[in-house]
Structures are given as C-alpha cells and as structure tokens.
Amino acid sequence: MKPWKMKNILIPLDFEFSNESAMDYAITLFEQEECHFYFSNSYTYNIEGLNALDLLQADDDWFEKPRYNSEMNLKAILKKYRGESNLKNHHFNTISKNTYLIEGLRKTIENLDIDLVVLLGKDQSKGNSDHTKRIVQNITECPVMIIPTSAHLQKPQKFVLASSFEVELLKSKLKNCYAWANTAGRSIKIVSLFSKDKMTQTQKVNQNKVYSQIQTFTKYPVSIQYSGASSSLKSFIKSHSDYIITIAERKSNFWTKYGLTQSWMKSLRHQSSLTSRT
C-alpha cells in the first residue's frame, strides 16, 4: 500500500544553530515521497535602545546586512541540496522574510498549504534554541517534527502516536502521521495520556477511530498503551530512544497541562530519536 503523499515541507532555519546532519536525515527520510521542501529564515532588525533619530541616521548597510546574510545562507543551502539530490520527486526553494518568526511561519503555512514543519535539533552541548521552543509551543496549524542529531537512517524506527483523545483528531491532519509510520516505522504504538479506566466514552471513541485508521493505512502491527500521567509519558519517551514520537493534540494548553515545558524539552534532546507533534 502506498503511503499518503506529503507535498509541502517547511524547514525553518536558525543559522546560529545549524545542524546539517539533521537536515540530511529529514530529506532522506522522505525519499519515497513527492515533496517540495521550503528552507525558510525570518530576520528582524535589532532596534532595542534606538530612538527615531537613530533609525533615520542608520546607513543602508544596517538595513541590508540582515537581509543579505539571510539570503546568502539560504542560497548556499539551496545550492547544496539541488546539487546533491538525485531524486526527481524532490523540489527545493527558499523563503527569506523580514518578519517576526511565528507570524511569518503562520502566513507561510497558510499561503503554501504546508503539510509538515521540520525543526532541526541541536547538538547536546547547545540544546534546543529559543527558535525551536517558540515554534513547538506556538505552531498548531500543522504537524511539527523535531529531528535531533541522534537520529540515524540506518536504524529501524518505531512509531508512537500519543494523545489524550479528548477531542477528535482530524483525519486530514493525521494522514501525514500515517505516511511517516509507513516510511520510517517498523511497529506502531498508540499511547493514551489517560489510564484506561479513567477514559470517557468520547475519548474511547476518538481513540478507536485513530486505531482503525492506522490499521487501514499501514502494514505494520499496531498496539495500544495507556500512560495515565505526564510523568509516565516523559519516562516512556526517555526510555524509547529508537521511537518516532508524534504528539497529536488540538487543545492549546496541552504542553502545560501535561508538563511538557521548555526545561523538559531541553532534556529531551539527549533521549529521543525523533519527536513531532500534530
């Protein structure tokens, strides 16, 4: 069975925390998919402490330097992947904008009908940047995947979909998760964030819908595990470094409700092979 096609993948780049190996992984992971990759960079001007007169007196170089650096860095990345890729089903473009990070990403996701945002994880000494944390905590328009340096293509992956199932998960959003499972997974596990005896009837119905959909679109075995607490979820992720983890939650307070704070995200970089959210 062919996996769902994933057309548009957005890779926001933070040039202060480059991670070429994670970028290579992200692109090779979807080598069987018809993909259009967009490398993007948002830049702003540091006007803190400047008054109106300072801005009027600023020379052209002050305004041109951020734009020039953004465009040149993106140009180098575009040249690398257009030159190295021998996959006819992969296409590459760049987006350089003077805009605030989250605002710019939301507009790009809407305008280009982005299916997936891929974030490149950082090395263990630096940890994830504020750039990555802000995107994970604010972008809910489409799935978000974090790829740290510990990911290895040659190592068979296992796929986990975690959710509270309090709200029905949209099939149109989850179809990309099924594609990831078919592309990189060898077994699939559904993890509920509630213990089985505390789930409402609505949660059970929503979970069963997802279970049925996954069984329809994958050739791999599917199992269900009940976590029952955020601490159990954290422990599960930390102890399963060979799993692709997708957290599917439509409620905006999910991260704080289940204790997935910035400090926890920072510690997670050492543990998980691949973490994503939809």
CA separation for the pair 214, 262 (Å, rounded):
30
Q: Residue 73: what pLDDT?
A: 93
Q: Residue 142: what pLDDT?
A: 79
Proportion of the chain above pLDDT 90, given as a percent: 20
Look up the pTM and report it: 0.69
Mean pLDDT of 3-13: 78
Domains of the chain: 1-153 (3.40.50.620), 155-278 (3.40.50)
pLDDT in tens, 109-151: 999 999 888 887 655 444 445 777 788 778 877 777 777 666 6
